[in-house]
């Protein structure tokens, strides 16, 4: 083999090896495709996609909104607090039957700060991260605790309630019903339950959430790890405090 032919052969061989070594692996490089190839360096137009539309999780008549086949609605914290107030109310009503109500128990249920998540009687209300006190308008938090203290004093009375005397009073219109009043005629159950509906639920819904939604204070970008925007979430949390059934057909 002459020298020129030998050089040509070596050049051809090395060029082929170089081209072979530089050849990129082809495949589907679109991560959204069903056949995405993580090792592919060059797209070969082989990508395939799932064209089946996502199933809408929302039923007609529900308070429900969805994105990409998943609901965007989440207000579990509000539902938990509604359940907590319901249990507080049930406990207070035992005083109507002559039971002594513990102010310490009421305060604990109000603040739910024992860290065990077992302050309440049901799983629907037990959540160590949720409480009513911190969500109640701060000016009135101490007032509710004072009412709880006064309720215990009134429930300890063995006298029949009357003007100037704390105790249980039988309804004049329905003898099967009776209610605990303090010496000034205050019915603690009503004051605490209805008061917290306003100073906690309404206050949080309107001043805490809806006001911000109307003022466009929240973002419209989908939050990391969630399927909703901050604006959507705040509106839904406000709805959650209303206690309205999510199945609209049950209340229209």
Is residue 17 scored above 80 in pLDDT? no
Query: Quick one: DSSP state of residue 52?
Result: P
Instruction: Report residue 251's pLDDT band, with 50, 70 and 90 as the boundaries.
Output: low
Is residue 95 pLDDT above 90, yes or no? yes
Q: Can you tell me the mean pLDDT for 35-53?
A: 88
Gap between the Cα atoms of 205 and 192, Å rounded:
18
Q: Are 222 and 229 in contact (CB under 8 A)?
A: yes
**For residue 4, is pLDDT > 90?**
no
User: Does the pLDDT of residue 176 top 80, yes or no?
Assistant: yes
Identify the H or E element spanning 80.
helix 76-93
Q: What percent of the chain has pLDDT over 90?
A: 71
Q: What is the pLDDT of residue 96?
A: 97
Please enumerate in sequence order all residues whose Cβ is within 8 A of that of 219, keeping only pairs 6 or more positions apart, or say none: 229, 230, 231
Closest CA relative to residue 146, chosen from 192, 202, 109: 192
Report CA 140 to chain centroid distance, whole Å: 24
Mean per-residue pLDDT of the chain: 89
- Which helix or strand (DSSP H or E) is residue 26 part of? strand 26-27
For the stretch 98-115, pLDDT in tens is: 999 999 999 999 999 866
CA distance 42 to 36: 12
Task: Provide the total of helices (H) and of strands (E) in the chain, helices listed first.
Answer: 7, 6
């Amino acid at each position: 083999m002459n020298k020129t032919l030998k050089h040509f052969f070596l050049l051809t061989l090395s060029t082929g090896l170089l081209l072979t070594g530089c050849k990129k692996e082809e495949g589907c490089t679109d991560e959204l495709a069903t056949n995405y190839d993580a090792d592919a360096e060059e797209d070969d137009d082989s990508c395939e996609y799932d064209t089946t539309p996502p199933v809408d999780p929302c039923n007609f008549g529900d308070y429900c909104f969805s994105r990409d086949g998943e609901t965007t609605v989440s207000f579990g914290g509000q539902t938990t607090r509604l359940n907590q107030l319901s249990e507080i109310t049930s406990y207070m009503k035992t005083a109507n039957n002559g039971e002594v109500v513990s102010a310490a128990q009421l305060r604990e249920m109000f603040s739910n700060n024992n860290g065990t998540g077992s302050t309440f009687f049901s799983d629907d209300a037990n959540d160590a991260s949720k409480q009513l006190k911190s969500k109640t308008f701060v000016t009135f938090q101490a007032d509710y605790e004072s009412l709880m203290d006064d309720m215990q004093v009134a429930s300890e009375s063995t006298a029949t309630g009357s003007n100037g005397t704390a105790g249980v009073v039988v309804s004049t219109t329905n003898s099967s019903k009776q209610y605990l009043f303090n010496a000034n005629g205050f019915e603690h159950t009503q004051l605490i339950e209805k008061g917290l509906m306003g100073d906690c639920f309404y206050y949080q819904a309107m001043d805490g959430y809806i006001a911000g939604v109307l003022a466009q204070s929240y973002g419209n970008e989908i939050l990391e790890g969630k399927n909703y925007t901050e604006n959507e979430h705040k509106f839904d949390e406000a709805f959650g405090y209303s206690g309205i059934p999510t199945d609209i057909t049950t209340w229209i």
